[in-house]
Amino acid sequence: MSVSTTATAKTLCAPLPVLGRDVTVPLVTGGEVTYAALDYAASAPALQRVWDDVAAYAPYYGSVHRGAGYLSQLSTDLFENARKTVEEFLDCRPDDQLIFTRSTTDSLNLLAAALPADCQVFVFETEHHASLLPWKDARVTYLNAPRTPAQAVATLEQALAARDPYGPALVCVTGASNVTGELWPVRELAAAAHAHGARIVLDAAQLAPHHPVSVQDLDVDWIAFSGHKLYAPFGSGVLAGRADWLQAADPYLAGGGASRKVTRREDGGVDVEWHDSAARHEAGSPNVIGAYSIASACKALTEAGFDTLVAREQHLIAEVRAGLAEVPQVKILSLFGDDAPRVGVISFVVDGWNSSHFAAALSAEYGIGVRDGLFCAHPLLRTLLGTDPQTQGECGAPEAAPGEKSLNAIRVSFGAGTPDEHVERFVSAVRELVTKGAKWTYHTENGRCVPAV
């Protein structure tokens, strides 16, 4: 997955309209400023197109499946057409199954619950906790952090070559790191998995909002992502891929919608016949608005054109990285090096600053929202930060364990809705904070670094 950086600022498209782009926030130093939302990797703002589509549908909201009324039938059609739209967006195989879930975390836990007995799972320690932790009932091999894409492939091949060749196996890998933004060699990892009789699931939470993702081209068996990172924050996610393991497993949730037929037995119990379709794992009333919002976002991104969106994002990445490179006290975190292709996710530390303190000052004094802490990727951050602690500041990291208050970083992330002005203001604020210091005093309150009153 190579990216082009040849586009110039003059040829770049405007940012896509997002909700909240004109929101103003108060500054602790006085006055207000337009909020610069630079925490897309956590939750991206809703596209205006998505919000408008949801608002237009809302008066027609009704129960999904089996309802006889007009609104129910309309909602059912909307829900199932949304499934088709997302399948097209992901370039799924004709016999793949797409299940609407609550999030990437929910999707991967669903797949974990559907693993065949005695399945071996291989996962890099660099994964987000959503893809690192769900496999507790399987035989898990945690792989050390690679320092190049080639090393990632070699590490996986070595681990798979040593596995039990007769049982089922699954590889779980991210498409783009939620810490460094670096793209992983998904196609090559999939080829290695399949060569050793294993399957592979792609965590595309950070990839799908930034790049086209083709299940067939990457040759992955499953893909998972979240709506709230794809400009559709309405409580839905997606798991799409091969149907056999999903159809063979007990329903992820037992209840209405998952069952095709339920009968009483003479002994007083019940017999259940479960659906073989996606409904098997979609028990309860489906989140039709969440599913529809994801489909709307998929359409919006496709119509905008990923070539154009990627070119603009690469311009923003170059601006941020160049600006941070001019500040000697800033260290950008990376696994694969400066030349690695990446999405708009950049993590860094600042010499002499606790990262929580720095992030709090960016918010309170400049109206810039970033993230600080360990980003639900604790093993990766510990690898990237090493054993040498940062110089202590006034505030500790909200996610850090006792004795690790200094082990945290700052993450800036952006995407299709980010104006140039926001990244320019961010770079300027970093430079000013480092050279002049904070204008305000901060302390820790309820685990967060906040301005002192």
Judge contact between 47 and 297, C-beta under 8 A: yes
CB-based contacts of 143, cutoff 8 Å, min separation 6? 122, 123, 124, 125, 155, 156, 159
Structure tokens at 303: 């119509």
H or E stretch including 199? strand 199-203
Rounded to whole angstroms, how far apart are CA atoms 82 and 405? 45
Closest to 329 in 3D by CA, of 347, 345, 352, 346: 352
Out of 119, 376, 395, 449, pick the active-site residue: 376
Closest to 338 in 3D by CA, of 180, 223, 188, 226: 180
Helix (H, G, I), strand (E, B) or coil at 18: strand
Judge contact between 70 and 220, C-beta under 8 A: no
CB-based contacts of 198, cutoff 8 Å, min separation 6? 120, 122, 160, 163, 169, 170, 171
- Judge whether 449 counts as a catalytic residue: no
Rounded to whole angstroms, how far apart are CA atoms 344 and 318? 10
Helix (H, G, I), strand (E, B) or coil at 8: coil
Rounded to whole angstroms, how far apart are CA atoms 202 and 183? 12
Judge contact between 298 and 50, C-beta under 8 A: no
From residue 60, how far is each of 210, 236, 290 by CA, in Å?
32, 19, 15
Q: Which residues are the active-site residues?
A: 376
